[in-house]
């Protein structure tokens, strides 16, 4: 019951976010052919950029002269950063809204345990994340196929498409935990959205300042960096382990806390 209702309520926002972000990446990829024709002048422009700017946006690692390199520098951020905002808005409000909207009393009156309620809501979040990434990836892939100049590699693109799913699941698990602890919806949303921007800022700082490189371990964005995936041809095992550990720990604490929480009705 909860799963069907929650999925129905969130379907519209899922489609809106998916097609907007997918459409933006699609349109951005249409710029690539014109960009590729002006490689010489663009290379000179890139060389004139400050070293910090080039490091911050991975322009020191990969070339924008390939379709995947162009996407990694120009379009990938839309899916990782903006997509993460969508995810925390979704997961952060999943439990808290029951108290803020006074619907928790109705749910508790039904023969549904708190464990079952949490589990069904988690499944809704996971399904929305997967569908969001699949829709965006398919739209983006169509954009790649329209502008491919022979440099497109499908296997690498698949890795770049899988990586944001892990990133989004990580943020969702943290947001879901905060949703179970905090009571006010606005407070949760401000904290979770702020967390997304702060961790993204950590990645930028870690890329620019060698002395602060360790900050990347505090940013899930660094774990799914498109430039590293293109260069290595894989996702790093350590980063996957860290993200999975964050998901499991956050989910476990969500169940433990919410089952014992004194809920105001």
Q: What is the 3-state secondary structure (H, E, C) of 160-173?
A: HHHHHHHHHHHHHH
The predicted pLDDT at position 129 comes to 97
The predicted pLDDT at position 207 comes to 83
- Integer-rounded Cα Rg, in Å, for the chain is 20
Distance of CA 196 to the CA centre of its chain: 9
Q: State the Cα–Cα distance between residues 170 and 10, nearest whole angstrom.
A: 19
Q: What is the pTM of this model?
A: 0.91
Residues written for the chain: 265
Q: State the Cα–Cα distance between residues 200 and 80, nearest whole angstrom.
A: 10
> What does the pLDDT look like over 96-136, one tens digit per residue?
776 666 666 566 666 678 788 889 999 999 999 999 999 99
Whether residue 153 is predicted with pLDDT greater than 90 in this model: the reply is: no
Q: State the Cα–Cα distance between residues 71 and 152, nearest whole angstrom.
A: 11
The predicted pLDDT at position 33 comes to 82
pLDDT (average), residues 65-80: 87
pLDDT (average), residues 243-250: 96
Whether residue 263 is predicted with pLDDT greater than 70 in this model: the reply is: no
Mean pLDDT of the chain: 85
């Amino acid at each position: 019951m909860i799963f069907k209702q929650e999925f129905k309520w969130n379907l519209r926002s899922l489609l809106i976010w998916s097609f907007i972000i997918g459409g933006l990446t699609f349109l951005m990829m249409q710029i690539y052919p014109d960009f590729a024709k002006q490689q010489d002048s663009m290379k000179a422009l890139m060389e004139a950029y400050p070293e910090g700017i080039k490091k911050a946006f991975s322009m020191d690692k990969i070339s924008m002269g390939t379709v995947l390199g162009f996407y990694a520098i120009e379009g990938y951020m839309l899916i990782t950063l903006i997509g993460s905002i969508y995810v925390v808005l979704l997961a952060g409000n999943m439990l808290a809204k029951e108290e803020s909207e006074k619907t928790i009393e109705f749910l508790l009156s039904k023969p549904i345990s708190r464990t079952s309620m949490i589990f069904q809501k988690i499944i809704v979040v996971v399904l929305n994340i997967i569908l969001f990434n699949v829709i965006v990836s398919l739209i983006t892939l169509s954009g790649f196929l329209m502008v491919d100049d022979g440099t497109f590699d499908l296997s690498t693109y698949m890795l770049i498409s899988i990586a944001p799913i892990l990133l989004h699941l990580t943020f969702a698990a943290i947001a879901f935990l905060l949703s179970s602890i905090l009571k006010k919806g606005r407070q949760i949303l401000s904290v979770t959205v702020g967390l997304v921007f702060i961790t993204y800022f950590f990645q930028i700082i870690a890329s620019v300042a060698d002395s602060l490189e360790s900050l990347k371990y505090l940013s899930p964005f660094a774990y799914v960096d498109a430039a590293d995936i293109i260069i290595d041809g894989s996702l790093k095992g350590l980063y996957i382990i860290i993200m999975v550990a964050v998901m499991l720990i956050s989910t476990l604490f969500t169940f433990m806390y919410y089952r014992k929480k004194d809920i105001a009705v």
